[in-house]
Amino acid sequence: MDQNILEKAQSWTHGNFDEGTKSRVKEMIEKNPEETADSFYRILEFGTGGLRGVMGDGTNRMNKYTVGMATQGLANYVMRMFPGIEHKMAIAHDSRNNSRYFAQITAEVLAANGFRVYLFEDLRPTPELSFAVRQLGCQSGVMITASHNPKEYNGYKAYWDDGAQFIAPHDENVIREVEKISSIDQVKWQGNKEKIVSIGSEIDEAYLAKLQTLSLSPDIIRQQKDLKIVYTPLHGTGRTLVPEILKRFGFRNIHPVEEQMVADGNFPTIKSPNPEEHSALDMAIQLAEKLHADLVMATDPDADRVGIAVRDNNNRMILLNGNQTASLLFYYVITKWKEKGRLNGKQFIVKTIVTTELLKDIAVSFDLKYYDVLTGFKYIADIIRKNEGLGEFIIGGEESYGYLAGDFVRDKDAVGACALIAETLAWTVSKGKSLYDLLLEIYVKHGFYKESLLSVTRKGQSGAEEIKQIMIGYRSNPPKEINGSKVVRIKDYDSLIEKDVENGKENIIHLPKSNVLQFFTEDGSVISVRPSGTEPKIKFYFGLRESLVDKMAFEETDKKLNEKLRGIINSLNLK
């Protein structure tokens, strides 16, 4: 074992660590050098979703000490950036194992540093934490969650005073402050617990009231209030507010998946608590078929993402991907804004660079300004902040099942999205159509956009190095063609250079640096490659487009695009 790693591990076997930790680390060193190396080879860092890792002992694990040290570093940074005032912080947590414990540790460390801490009384969704930061005038906030990761994970999302996750320079500055905390003895573990204020229903009410202002078709909902909706929180925080906001919008026929309404960090009824994975919605779809329901919605454990299933023209329940759901939401919301005379040239939408270009086409068709940003909802929030007083944000979204309408939350919001998805269904049914019909109409009008995502997992220290080498290889020797189509343009978001392959001309990309590559082929395909900031994965995003003559040609065109997608995957040796 590397001597530096061994010394790090041994430092956890003495000093002020609790006896249980000391004993477990001693045993790990003696019996499992591979696990020891993976547990101590690095310090968890803030990525696109903050601090996230497997729970356990070690500097590379989520535990009392890594959470406490991160919190001390965060507290030091907030105090430095906001001198001379009473510092306030909001904290929420999801249903994961140890989430409440980590939230309490965070609260106690902050209180020991003199913060007034607003700690939710029980589990709450991530978007409500973002809302609470703004509502309570906090300088920062923390959400204890690992989002949709497997049950072994937990995490720590940090928020700034605008209710958005940190971006540069704050993210890097916080990391530096955390790195200065080299010993648990530098953490203030105990302080005045009277500084910790329990919050709950009062914030729920304020948040739900703001969400109700998003409704664009209350009259139509009154007509369609009995539409059958099946909902599952996948054992997570959505159980607290999603059924309630659906009722407040006016829907009266909501059917929860009772077995999954139980908050449980072991996620006993599902393989993965990720609504992007089809199996996560199996129980909900079974209930929908039994009830002949019109819509299925599933939120992830911290209720910032939502996956849906709708009925196709053969009355079968089919799953939509994040790009398709975003397209329906954007089209409905923008259409209603236009009908209500709310478009005056100052409005805008935002999407990420790996999200379907169909959203851009929809925006352009309504003469709306649009922004493309890096992957991560914090960049969508940054555009909202930069346009305050200059423009009006309508809606934003990303392919990974995250959407946001309105600007009172500054992160993806599955609670609000569920309400608007149900309202979109009511609107289409009032016109004698289904959500599936509407999606096909959008494809006929703007083109059939088909997107797919392939994630390649490489675990541990060796996996991180392998992912690094894959990116180096693509940069040093980029593909000249993909599936027989020439690569004509390459965007490198690390060097911030866009290169025309044919003439060698280069342009500057005006976005923050990010470890992302995009290859554009002659036939219009877009392949994006990005290592995950929160998981041991490298992700490949595929975007294809074909004209759709009419709805009847959908299946034939879909088959053609599927064959093309398989060809692209095979040509990149990803099969």
* Tens-digit pLDDT profile for residues 376-418: 899 999 999 999 999 999 999 999 999 999 999 999 999 999 9
Name the average pLDDT for the chain. 95
User: Same topology for domains 207-446 and 448-571, yes or no?
Assistant: no
Does residue 563 surpass a pLDDT of 90? yes
Q: Cα separations (Å) of 124 from 6, 121, 158?
A: 39, 9, 15
Does residue 47 surpass a pLDDT of 80? no
* CATH fold for the domain made of 207-446: Alpha-D-Glucose-1,6-Bisphosphate; Chain A, domain 3 (3.40.120)
Does residue 315 surpass a pLDDT of 90? yes
Return the structure tokens found at 436.
Answer: 């599936």
Query: Stretch 420-436: mean pLDDT, rounded?
Result: 98
Model confidence pLDDT, tens digit, residues 212-261: 999 999 999 999 999 999 999 999 999 999 999 999 999 999 999 999 99
Beta-carbon neighbour count of residue 304 at 10 Å?
34
**How confident is the model at residue 226, as a pLDDT?**
98
Does residue 44 surpass a pLDDT of 90? no
Does residue 48 surpass a pLDDT of 60? no
Confidence of residue 534 (pLDDT cuts 50, 70, 90): low
**How confident is the model at residue 19, as a pLDDT?**
97
pTM of the predicted model as reported, rounded to 2 decimal places: 0.94
**How confident is the model at residue 292, as a pLDDT?**
97
Query: Stretch 164-190: mean pLDDT, rounded?
Result: 91
Which residues participate in catalysis according to the annotation?
A: 147
Confidence of residue 561 (pLDDT cuts 50, 70, 90): very high
**How confident is the model at residue 533, as a pLDDT?**
66
Query: Stretch 57-86: mean pLDDT, rounded?
Result: 96
Domain range 42-199, CATH architecture: 3-Layer(aba) Sandwich (3.40)
**How confident is the model at residue 195, as a pLDDT?**
97
CA distance 360 to 285: 31
- Name, in order, each residue with C-beta under 8 angstroms of 70's C-beta and a sequence gap of 6 or more: 44, 51, 156, 178, 181
Sheet of 196-199, strand order: 51-54, 153-159, 140-144, 88-93, 116-120, 196-199
Query: Stretch 260-273: mean pLDDT, rounded?
Result: 97
**How confident is the model at residue 49, as a pLDDT?**
58
**How confident is the model at residue 175, as a pLDDT?**
83
**How confident is the model at residue 12, as a pLDDT?**
96
Return the structure tokens found at 426.
Answer: 């009511």
Of the listed ranges 125-129, 164-168, 297-301, 420-424, the least confidently predicted one is 164-168
Confidence of residue 462 (pLDDT cuts 50, 70, 90): confident
Confidence of residue 481 (pLDDT cuts 50, 70, 90): very high
**How confident is the model at residue 346, as a pLDDT?**
97
Tell me if 525 sits within 8 A of 482, measured CB to CB.
yes
- Percentage of the residues of the chain whose pLDDT score is greater than 90: 90
Does residue 562 surpass a pLDDT of 60? yes
Confidence of residue 46 (pLDDT cuts 50, 70, 90): low
**How confident is the model at residue 458, as a pLDDT?**
83
Does residue 92 surpass a pLDDT of 80? yes
**How confident is the model at residue 174, as a pLDDT?**
87
Q: Does domain 448-571 have CATH number 1.10.10?
A: no
Phi-psi region of 205 (alpha: psi -120 to 50; beta: other; left: phi over 0): alpha
**How confident is the model at residue 96, as a pLDDT?**
98
Query: Stretch 172-193: mean pLDDT, rounded?
Result: 90
Tell me if 439 sits within 8 A of 328, measured CB to CB.
yes
Query: Stretch 535-547: mean pLDDT, rounded?
Result: 91
- Percentage of the residues of the chain whose pLDDT score is greater than 70: 98
CA distance 137 to 116: 11
Query: Stretch 354-372: mean pLDDT, rounded?
Result: 96
CA distance 136 to 90: 8
Q: Where are the domains of the chain?
A: 42-199, 207-446, 448-571
Tell me if 32 sits within 8 A of 47, measured CB to CB.
no
**How confident is the model at residue 352, as a pLDDT?**
97
**How confident is the model at residue 538, as a pLDDT?**
94
Confidence of residue 356 (pLDDT cuts 50, 70, 90): very high
Tell me if 117 sits within 8 A of 91, measured CB to CB.
yes
**How confident is the model at residue 172, as a pLDDT?**
85
Does residue 532 surpass a pLDDT of 90? no
Strand, coil or helix: 366: coil
